[in-house]
Amino acid sequence: MNADIISRVRGARPIIHSITNYVTANDCANILLACGASPIMSDDPSEAEDIASLASAVVLNLGTLSERKLDAMMIAGKKANFLSHPVVLDPVGAGASRSRTEAAQKLLANVKFAVIRGNVSEIRALSGEHSASGGVDAASADLGDDALPSRIALAERFASSTGAVAVLSGKTDIVTDGARTCLLHNGNEMMSRVTGTGCQLTSLVAAFAAVSNGDIFEAACTAAAAMGLSGELAAKRLRHDDGSGTYRAYMIDAVYNMTPDILTKGTRYEIRP
Amino acid sequence: MNADIISRVRGARPIIHSITNYVTANDCANILLACGASPIMSDDPSEAEDIASLASAVVLNLGTLSERKLDAMMIAGKKANFLSHPVVLDPVGAGASRSRTEAAQKLLANVKFAVIRGNVSEIRALSGEHSASGGVDAASADLGDDALPSRIALAERFASSTGAVAVLSGKTDIVTDGARTCLLHNGNEMMSRVTGTGCQLTSLVAAFAAVSNGDIFEAACTAAAAMGLSGELAAKRLRHDDGSGTYRAYMIDAVYNMTPDILTKGTRYEIRP
Amino acid sequence: MNADIISRVRGARPIIHSITNYVTANDCANILLACGASPIMSDDPSEAEDIASLASAVVLNLGTLSERKLDAMMIAGKKANFLSHPVVLDPVGAGASRSRTEAAQKLLANVKFAVIRGNVSEIRALSGEHSASGGVDAASADLGDDALPSRIALAERFASSTGAVAVLSGKTDIVTDGARTCLLHNGNEMMSRVTGTGCQLTSLVAAFAAVSNGDIFEAACTAAAAMGLSGELAAKRLRHDDGSGTYRAYMIDAVYNMTPDILTKGTRYEIRP
């Protein structure tokens, strides 16, 4: 955790190339603008190399995937690797269909990811471990507090085998590079009632990684802390009659108003040896 | 009308496979999450069969249609038919272009729909009856109170000929299976000033149909009642300076906070013999 | 500036065919509904001619471009030209990639545009003048008050060479047909922290041009004034803890509540000889 990364994003305004799904693209662009980054959403193979070259980091998000988008992802990912810019993978729905899982595996085989963020079902599917997929949401058997140790072990194995920092979202967020592991206890259950809060975290991770000076683990922890705390702060503002529609806007508000000081005071996390 | 369906959706969290347009996909996912269902938005033919198999109901929405999406719709619709899962059609913009109308007719010829929800222009276009299309919105000649009997007759003919429950949205919503007809008097005119309230109703219908235990007519009536009442409750919250932007969030809030009790007390409908 | 155009849009409810990106399509549809127009979002070549024929104006927005969309744009643009309906171009990200710039130039060579709206980087790229692109946002060197005269000159040259009214968005919006130039001083810096405010202005321009009775320059000035003032009014409503999420909804609220009277009293502009 390094809360000053927030100031660094606002100072540097890193361009984040996002190849993402059309369900949450608007939220992802708005969360990037809210945190101070500059999004460019583009999914066409014909410009993937140009746009990736312009950007400080690249997000590959597998929601509403198509063959054309996968081509663009391969090109942009390889270009960013060549430029040593961080590439972040969000394997939305991995495990929910054979073709989605295969697409994720093709990307893993061809692109070096700085960070991979998903829920437990998605990470399990990419690990080749069995999971009863609940669509794009995590399978319930994997979600209880009892299963936390097994989720930590999964994330650590996955980080070690891929060489990426793993961000495994859930009630407790797990961030690990295989050696260091951070557990984050912020967040609010309403985050799961708004589409795209996971995609938005992935976008934040990319923005923070873009100004990380090489410590991707620290950047990912800070992004997860900022997102979880924003979810908490948004929930505190809700009044009678408010629900997930208002909450969605309040989450972006909270990221917009986040400061290093607010983050330092509000975040609750532990580093496991 | 069976207000307990709301509790059933929240208990069962049915997965709803949505092949839909990119204009309102976010709203559709959020309304599904707000009512307690679990959306999976995916439009690729390569995974249409897998995703449809995972889901308890399928929505086919013709907005921003493409050949690729239409292929996915055919595959997902047939798979859901095979599994006896309800398939819901939203023929957005039918009548506005020849290719959109033809796509809808191709789907009607190949997929058995549990429910078809549209405005009067769209349903008229699918019935092969003449309509001066007003784009994706209903033609004004068809909209007055005077035209209500002709709209009811249209919906009943359409339900009988297709074998689907017809939901004809308007100032008065009409739900009919050809034999039973329900007129719903909730709603608010601001609903027509926010894009996607029709698409959202279609999504709710699918979620309610997924837990309907076979009474699709009842599920569709309940969904239409819940959406109309949400539109009313959202309008009551508006203060000076609020407009359609705030209203959009309040509608989702109202669905999020909807209970069987609120619905039972607030809904105004009549069943025609 | 002619504030009565607002009433004309509400009376005529012009259909606006929008071929646009999936990041901000929802916002564009909602701003069109808020101002009283009727959006139809469709990007498929198979129906481009039918939909363009139905509409009173066409918007071509280059965000998240694909070859398929570009084909649809060519067809819709030519059809609208044939029908003498205004066509408005938003060259999102021109200059950010070779293929995006080429697509814009292909459209410029084949379609006669009534209005072209972009930021200074985009307009510079289309002018064939050098610009260090900052992705989809304007390059900072071009943004200061000092650079205003050079931005005005750029817009005037661009309008003269293309025959279109140029709308160059920035802290001061510039609207020019090459002969007349209007500088608009409304707006708020938070507009740049919400994705799609530029796309939304482009949509408003198309709605206003659709009822312009031929004075496209006046329509474009009025649309820019309405959007800028909406950005100001939205900012005034913000309270502690509000941010860009809430602001996004408030901007649409302000367009929804805009009247000729509010616009006349609130707008600050000057016409340059």
User: Which residue in the set B30, B44, B253 is minimally distant from A242, CB to CB?
Assistant: B253
CA-to-CA distance for B47 and A175, rounded, in angstroms? 30
Interface of B with A in 141-180 (CB under 8 A): none
**B132-181, pLDDT tens digit by residue?**
555 555 666 677 788 999 999 999 999 999 999 999 999 999 999 999 99
Mean pLDDT of A172-186: 98
Per-residue pLDDT, B145: 80
Q: Enumerate the β-bridge partners of residue B168.
A: B118, B174
Q: The tokens of C208 are what?
A: 């206003």
Residue B130: predicted pLDDT: 62
* DSSP 8-state code for residue C186: -
Per-residue pLDDT averaged across C25-53, rounded? 98
Residues with Cβ < 8 Å from B128, sequence gap 6 or more? none
Q: Cα(A176)–Cα(A168) distance, rounded to whole angstroms?
A: 9
CATH number (domain holding residue A239): 3.40.1190.20
- Best B23, B30, B31, B131 residue to mutate vs chain C (most C CBs within 10 Å): B23
CA dihedral C199, C202, C207, C211 (to 10 degrees): 180
Between the CA of residue B138 and those of B142, B154, B232, C231, C238, what are the distances in Å? 7, 14, 21, 31, 36
Mean of the per-residue pLDDT values of chain A = 95
Residue A270 neighbours by CB distance under 10 Å: 10
Residue C136, pLDDT > 60, answer no
**Average pLDDT, integer, range A101-117:** 98
pLDDT of B144 = 77
Q: Does residue B125 register a pLDDT over 90? A: yes
Could you tell me which residues are beta bridge partners of residue A90? A61
ipTM: 0.95
Partner-chain residue, chosen from C21, C100, C192, that has the shortest CB–CB distance to A47: C100
Nearest to A152 by CA among A216, A160, A192, A137: A160
The domain of B44 spans: 5-272
Question: Binning pLDDT at 50, 70 and 90, where does residue C32 land?
Answer: very high
Q: Does residue B226 carry a pLDDT above 80?
A: yes
What is the pLDDT at residue C143? 73
Nearest to residue C29, comparing CAs of C200, C192, C168? C200
The number of distinct structural domains making up chain C is: 1
Query: What pLDDT is recorded for position A58?
Result: 98
CB pairs under 8 A between B and C: 111
* pLDDT confidence of residue C101: 96
Mean per-residue pLDDT of chain B: 95
pLDDT at position C135 over 90: no
Per-residue pLDDT tens for C216-228? 999 999 999 999 9
- How many beta carbons lie within 10 A of that of residue B102, not counting itself? 14
Q: Which two tokens stand for residue B133?
A: 């299309």
pLDDT score, position A129: 76
Two tokens, residue C163 = 């025959």
pLDDT on residue B245: 98
- In the sheet that holds C115-119, the strands lie side by side as C38-41, C15-19, C57-61, C87-90, C115-119, C165-169, C173-176, C181-184, C269-272
Residue A189 has pLDDT above 70, yes or no: yes
Probe site for chain B from A26, A241, A252 (most B CB atoms < 10 A): A241
**Per-residue pLDDT tens digits for A112-136:** 999 999 999 999 999 987 655 555 5
Burial A37-74 (b: 16+ CB within 10 A, else e): bbbbbbbbbbbbbbbbebbbbbbbbbbbbbebbbebbb
Chains near B (3 or more Cβ pairs under 8 Å): A, C
DSSP codes joined into one string, B102-166: HHHHHHHHHS--SEEEEEHHHHHHHTT-----BTTBPPGGG-SGGGHHHHHHHHHHHHHHH-SEE
Burial class (CB in 10 A: 0-12, 13-18, 19+), C67: middle
Banded pLDDT at C141 (limits 50, 70, 90): low
**Chain C residues touching residue B192 (CB < 8 angstroms):** 33
Q: What is the rounded average pLDDT of the residues B98-114?
A: 97
Q: Which pLDDT score is estimated for B206?
A: 98
Give the residue from chain B lying closest to C19, CA to CA: B64
pLDDT of B25 higher than 90: yes
pLDDT bin (cut points 50, 70, 90) of residue B103 is: very high
pLDDT digits (tens, 9 = 90+) for B71-95: 999 999 999 999 999 999 999 999 9
Q: What CA–CA distance (Å, rounded) separates B180 from B239?
A: 39
Looking at chain B from residue 126 to 145, which residues have their Cβ under 8 Å from any Cβ of chain A?
Answer: none
What pLDDT was estimated at residue C273?
A: 73
pLDDT reading at C79 higher than 70: yes
pLDDT attached to residue C144: 77
Query: Cβ contact (<8 Å) for A26 and C196?
Result: yes
* Average predicted confidence (pLDDT) for chain C: 95
> Which positions in chain B touch A246 (Cβ < 8 Å)?
249-250, 253
Residue A188, token pair as written in the block: 């609010």
Chain centroid, CA A240 distance in Å: 31
Q: Does A59 touch chain C (CB under 8 A)?
A: no
Judge residue A139's burial from the number of C-beta atoms within 10 Å of its C-beta, 0-12 exposed, 13-18 middle, 19 or more buried: middle
Task: Tell me if chain B has a CB within 8 Å of the CB of C76.
Answer: no
pLDDT tens readout for residues A37-96 = 999 999 999 999 999 999 999 999 999 999 999 999 999 999 999 999 999 999 999 999
Residue whose structure tokens are 């108003």: A257
φ, ψ at C138 (rounded to 5°): -70, 145
pLDDT bracket for residue B114 (50, 70, 90) = very high
Tokens representing A20 are 């993402």
Q: Are A87 and A62 in contact (CB under 8 A)?
A: no
**Is the Cβ of A68 closer than 8 Å to some Cβ of chain C?**
yes
Q: Which residues of B touch C68 (CB under 8 A)?
A: 66
